Amino acid sequence: MTKKIFFIFCLIGFIKNYSQQKLKGEWILDRIVKSDGKNLEINDPRYSMFLFYKINANEVSIHNTKFKAKFNKDLINLEDRTFKYWFEEDYLLLQEGDDISLLLKPEDFIKKHPEFKPKIEIRNNDSLLIANKIIHPIFNNEKTFASFLSQFMEKENLMDINDLYFKGEYILTKDNKIKNVKILDKLTPNYETQFIQALKQAEKYFKNPYGIDMLVTHETHLSKLYNNLSYKSDKKLFDIISEGSKYFNENKFEKAIEKFSKLDELQIKDNRFIMRFHEGYTKLGISYLAVGEKDKACINFKKVGNIMDFQVRNFLIDFCK
């Protein structure tokens, strides 16, 4: 009898330890559903978004925000949140209140969504793996890569510049060295110089786990306050987003459509406010869905991005096949 009890306790301990070991690692959010399995409301901001979790022995990182964690049976206790968790096939399910997050390990996410499969580009007879949201370098530092860069870069005086978008690329070799840094969309000469210098400082924290040189793109979107905007068209953009969002948040979707549709009239170039446009076109697409005009909704979602853009990804999957 004593041996049986001992065996049962050992078995329970093994199962608990195995379950917690299975939790460890990086997880990508596939989508959030209600506890009855139905999708969220289309105007819920979590309907389509990018979110990743990194789970360690005593810590859970949610989109680069770290929380101390305690694991107890089928619960994950963070500092001010509690998740019930379980596994179904390749999925990790996290329930918080009436919402359930469906998470996949990166390799399983790619298996389920082959559009994220590694893509190879040939440059100067060299094969380069193209980084994306799922396939990316590991940055071994307590700061995020963006935060690490910012500490080496002086803040730009936004009063003096109108171009608010920066884009650069670099190759992270299979030996974890950075080379071939290129500026694809300039901001200011000072910003470019500081970016390259900061990138060199970051090199020692990078790890390329894929065994092939990787091409990585980095974007920066700066922002301005309304009163600092220089052009009438810029202020009109901000007005459209503000007024359209007010109607959107009040579920007055016909009026939201009327406002957001004016985005097409604006002549703003150089990607200066691309994130504001994406916000507006996403809400315009959702508003069209709400009034039953699916085709117009899909047209506007595609102005934001394709199926690999998490801001509109689930809308394109669910409504624009």
Coil, helix or strand at residue 249? helix
Which of 221, 242, 274 is at the close of a domain? Answer: 221
Averaged confidence pLDDT in the chain: 90
How many Å apart are CA 266 and CA 233, to the nearest integer? Answer: 6
**pLDDT tens across 154-169, in order?**
766 555 666 788 999 9
- The pTM of this model reads 0.88
Nearest Cα to Cα of residue 106 among 60, 58, 67, 50: 50
Structure tokens at 174: 């299979």
pLDDT average, residue stretch 82-97? 97
The predicted pLDDT at position 16 comes to 46
The predicted pLDDT at position 228 comes to 78
The predicted pLDDT at position 92 comes to 98
**Distance, C-alpha 73 to centroid of its chain:** 30
Nearest Cα to Cα of residue 177 among 198, 160, 199: 199
Total of domains in the chain = 3
Structure tokens at 239: 């007005």
CATH number (domain holding residue 252): 1.25.40.10
Structure tokens at 121: 């580009």
The predicted pLDDT at position 7 comes to 39
Percent of the chain topping pLDDT 90 = 71
Question: Would you place residue 13 in the very low, low, confident or very high pLDDT band (cuts 50, 70, 90)?
Answer: very low
Nearest Cα to Cα of residue 116 among 136, 94, 91, 141: 136
Is there a single domain that holds both residue 123 and residue 216?
Answer: yes
DSSP, res 291: T
Whether 185 has a pLDDT exceeding 70, the answer reads: yes
Is there a single domain that holds both residue 291 and residue 255?
Answer: yes
Is there a single domain that holds both residue 252 and residue 306?
Answer: yes
63 and 49 Cβ atoms separated by less than 8 Å: no
Q: Which of 180-184, 214-218, 255-259, 268-272 has the lowest average pLDDT? A: 268-272
Whether 83 has a pLDDT exceeding 50, the answer reads: yes
Beta bridge partners of 82: 77
Within a 10 A sphere around the Cβ of 172, how many other Cβ atoms? 25
Q: Is residue 209 part of a domain?
A: yes
Question: Would you place residue 5 in the very low, low, confident or very high pLDDT band (cuts 50, 70, 90)?
Answer: very low
Q: Which of 58-72, 104-118, 240-254 has the lowest average pLDDT? A: 58-72
Range of the domain at 277: 226-319
Which of 85, 109, 133 is at the close of a domain? Answer: 109
Whether 38 has a pLDDT exceeding 80, the answer reads: yes
Q: Is residue 64 part of a domain?
A: yes
The predicted pLDDT at position 147 comes to 87
Coil, helix or strand at residue 25? strand
Q: Is residue 10 part of a domain?
A: no
Which helix (H) or strand (E) is 248 found in, with range?
Answer: helix 232-249
Contacts of 13 (CB under 8 A, 6+ apart): none
Coil, helix or strand at residue 35? coil
Question: Would you place residue 19 in the very low, low, confident or very high pLDDT band (cuts 50, 70, 90)?
Answer: low
Q: Is residue 7 part of a domain?
A: no
The predicted pLDDT at position 286 comes to 99
Coil, helix or strand at residue 54? strand
Coil, helix or strand at residue 307? coil
The predicted pLDDT at position 149 comes to 86
DSSP class per residue in 151-202: TTSPPP-TTS----EEEEEEEE-TTS-EEEEEEEE---HHHHHHHHHHHHHH
**pLDDT tens across 48-76, in order?**
999 999 999 899 999 888 899 999 889 99
**pLDDT tens across 264-285, in order?**
999 887 677 899 999 999 999 9
**Total residue count of the chain as it appears in this document:** 321
Q: Which of 24-28, 38-42, 67-71, 161-165 has the lowest average pLDDT? A: 161-165
pLDDT average, residue stretch 234-246? 96
Is there a single domain that holds both residue 105 and residue 117?
Answer: no
Which of 109, 124, 146 is at the close of a domain? Answer: 109
Contacts of 137 (CB under 8 A, 6+ apart): 131, 172, 206, 207, 208, 209, 214, 216
Percent of the chain topping pLDDT 70 = 91
For 27, list phi and psi in degrees, rounded to 5.
Answer: -130, 140
